[in-house]
Amino acid sequence: MLRRLLARTLAGTPAQCEICRAWPAQPLCEACVARFAQPQPRCRRCALPVPAGTQECGQCLRAPPPLDACHAAVSYAYPWSALIGRYKFHGQPGWADSFATLLRSTPWVEPALERAALVLPMPLSQQRLAQRGFNQALELARRLAPGRTDAGLLLRVRDTPPQVALDRKARLANMRGAFALEPLRAAQVRGQAVALVDDVMTSGASLFAAAAVLQAAGAASVTALVVARTDAPG
């Protein structure tokens, strides 16, 4: 399936693999995808790695997050961390094609997309959008579900300090009140299956805050789809 998706997405685009430098190849060659993107057991609620046969991590059992499911393609580690950094911080939105293909090939992602009536990208603050020039989550969502992606329903209503230096508890507090639904359209969420799309999940604070807003508005289910997940709680 992955081979077919890669061929369809990147056909006619000769390139050098950005990981192993094979030439000619796609931006992500099949050998590197097979080597660095092997599926692994993950918590069904937050996508942290778990032992085989385990459905939920201990943290989600103790305090279930406001997500019904969460799917991640890869761990946020070599080589993906560097490639995502180039995508997000160095003005290379074309990487959305390869990352969306990688995500679609991840187990359970296609069924989640098929169920979702609404596919919502995680919104950026106006300041960060101006800095980057594009919303990386929106570019991914448009490629995953172009007909159902809605960039105007979930809003970022409060800018927040960077999360990097904060522990998990502080990150969760930092994100409270950061998101809201467009007031005249909030009723569209009621009873619907919603997919939230982002590039990286660290502590989950941003996704949890957005999911809580959707749950409060009556969403039937909220599933997060992310390209990369850190291997330890942030």
CA 61/CA 64 separation, integer angstroms:
6
CA 232/CA 221 separation, integer angstroms:
25
Closest among 125, 40, 77, 113 to 232, alpha carbons compared? 77
State phi, psi for 121 to the nearest 5 degrees.
-75, 145
3-state secondary structure of 7: helix
pLDDT at residue 232 greater than cutoff 70: yes
- Mean predicted lDDT score pLDDT of the chain: 89
Per-residue pLDDT tens digits for 86-99: 999 988 999 999 99
Per-residue pLDDT tens digits for 159-213: 765 655 555 666 666 667 789 999 999 999 999 999 999 999 998 999 999 999 9
Q: What angle do CA 153, 155, 156 make, to 5 degrees?
A: 165
Could you tell me where the beta strands, DSSP code E, fall in 53-121? 69-75, 118-121
Task: Supply 10's token pair.
Answer: 């990147």
Q: Which residues contact 136 (CB under 8 A, 6 or more apart)?
A: 87, 88, 93, 96, 199
Quick one: pLDDT at residue 171?
Answer: 64
Quick one: pLDDT at residue 167?
Answer: 59
Per-residue pLDDT tens digits for 1-41: 444 444 444 444 457 899 999 987 788 999 999 999 999 99
HSE-up of residue 58 (Cα within 13 Å, Cβ side): 3
Classify each residue of 114-127 as buried b or exposed e, where b means 16 or more C-beta atoms within 10 Å of its C-beta.
Answer: eebebbbbbbbeee
Q: Which residues contact 211 (CB under 8 A, 6 or more apart)?
A: 65, 66, 67, 196, 222, 224
State phi, psi for 124 to the nearest 5 degrees.
-100, 155
Quick one: pLDDT at residue 49?
Answer: 96
R_g of the chain computed on alpha carbons: 17
pLDDT at residue 53 greater than cutoff 70: yes
- As a residue count, the chain comes to 234
Is 172:161 a contact under the CB 8 Å cutoff? no
Domains of the chain in sequence order:
1-36 (no CATH), 41-229 (3.40.50)
